[in-house]
């Protein structure tokens, strides 16, 4: 075979390989894509390196997303290798802290925790792995959320109704009276959910604010210099620098807070403009991703 023929064969082989490789790439299915706030793609290590510089990380998840639950677990483990981490969770209410501490100290079993605390229906599949990791490492886990009965009370009777609670019950809440800015866009958008303005309940965003304020207060109450506080919450509680972040910054504007927000898109190759600046990092998941419930 002549040199020219050999070159021709090699060229044909390279072309076939290139086409085959492109076909494989086209068939590749990504489970998620990370972006910075401006919509620039980045990888997990780049995000992790940035997160390690924070005082507080707010992971704004989608509660039924397996990717969120997997990634939050991986972040917790990786952050724990280089920092003294405290885990905080919206999924536990403050009056369940005693039961949670008993479980973490092996004083009660999971069955005991289940009967003592108001666990979410997806706790065992989605959140127990994080709690059990923290337990195995002696890591504190903080129940940050307001007991739901008080949020319900605010929705029904307004923030003023909390003033009449006895002191032992007010201890489960952020200190009263609490700040509230009805003009924050996130709270405004909750009012826009009502098709008929006459049916709008102005107490709905106040109940949300009580949760945000109480979670922020819980974080600050357990924040120690030199430690990293990793908090799990629904993305609505921390998007756009509002919610929990607003209350944290009101208390201490010098804190370094880094937020992650999870969203779904049909195409995850580029960040939809509506999500830009929503958080420091965006976790984008395909819309067809399976759900945990």
The model scores a pTM over 0.85: yes
Write down the pLDDT at residue 18: 41
Q: Where are the beta strands (DSSP E) in the chain?
A: 33-36, 41-42, 56-61, 85-93, 141-145, 228-234, 257-265, 281-286
Instruction: Compute how many other C-beta atoms are within 10 angstroms of the C-beta atom of residue 1.
Output: 7
Neighbouring residues of 119: CB distance < 8 A, sequence distance ≥ 6: 91, 113
With CA atoms as reference, report the closest residue to 112 among 124, 102, 125: 102
Query: Can you tell me the distance from the alpha carbon of 215 to that of 150, in angstroms, rounded to the nearest whole number?
Result: 13
1 band by pLDDT with thresholds 50, 70 and 90:
low
Q: What is the pLDDT of residues 192-201, one digit of tens each?
A: 877 666 556 8
Average pLDDT along the chain: 91
Mean pLDDT of 11-38: 65
For residue 70, pLDDT over 60 is answered with yes
For residue 181, pLDDT over 80 is answered with yes
Write down the pLDDT at residue 6: 45
The pLDDT > 70 percentage for the chain reads: 89
Neighbouring residues of 66: CB distance < 8 A, sequence distance ≥ 6: 126, 289, 290, 291, 292
Write down the pLDDT at residue 31: 96
């Amino acid at each position: 075979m002549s040199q020219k023929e050999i070159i021709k064969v090699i060229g044909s082989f390279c072309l076939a390989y290139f086409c085959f490789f492109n076909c494989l790439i086209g068939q590749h299915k990504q489970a998620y894509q990370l972006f910075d706030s401006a919509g620039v793609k980045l990888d997990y290590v780049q995000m992790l390196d940035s997160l390690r510089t924070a005082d507080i990380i707010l992971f704004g998840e989608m509660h039924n997303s397996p990717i969120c639950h997997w990634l939050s677990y991986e972040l917790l483990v990786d952050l724990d290798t280089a920092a003294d981490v405290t885990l905080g969770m919206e999924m536990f209410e403050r009056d369940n802290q005693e039961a949670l501490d008993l479980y973490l100290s092996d004083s009660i079993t999971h069955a005991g925790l289940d009967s003592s605390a108001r666990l979410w229906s997806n706790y065992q599949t989605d959140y127990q792995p994080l709690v059990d990791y923290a337990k195995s490492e002696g890591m504190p886990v903080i129940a940050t959320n307001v007991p739901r009965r008080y949020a319900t009370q605010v929705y029904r009777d307004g923030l003023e109704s909390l003033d009449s609670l006895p002191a032992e019950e007010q201890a489960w809440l952020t200190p009263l009276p609490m700040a509230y800015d009805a003009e924050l866009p996130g709270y405004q958008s909750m009012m826009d959910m009502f098709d008929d303005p006459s049916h709008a309940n102005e107490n709905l965003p106040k109940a949300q604010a009580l949760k945000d304020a109480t979670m922020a207060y819980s974080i600050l109450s357990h924040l120690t210099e030199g430690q990293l506080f990793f908090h799990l919450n629904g993305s609505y509680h921390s998007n756009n620098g509002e919610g929990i972040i607003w209350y944290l910054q009101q208390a201490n504007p010098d804190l370094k807070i880094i937020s992650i927000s999870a969203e779904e898109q049909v195409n995850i190759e580029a960040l939809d403009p509506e999500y830009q600046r929503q958080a420091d990092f965006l976790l984008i998941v395909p819309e067809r991703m399976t759900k945990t419930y």
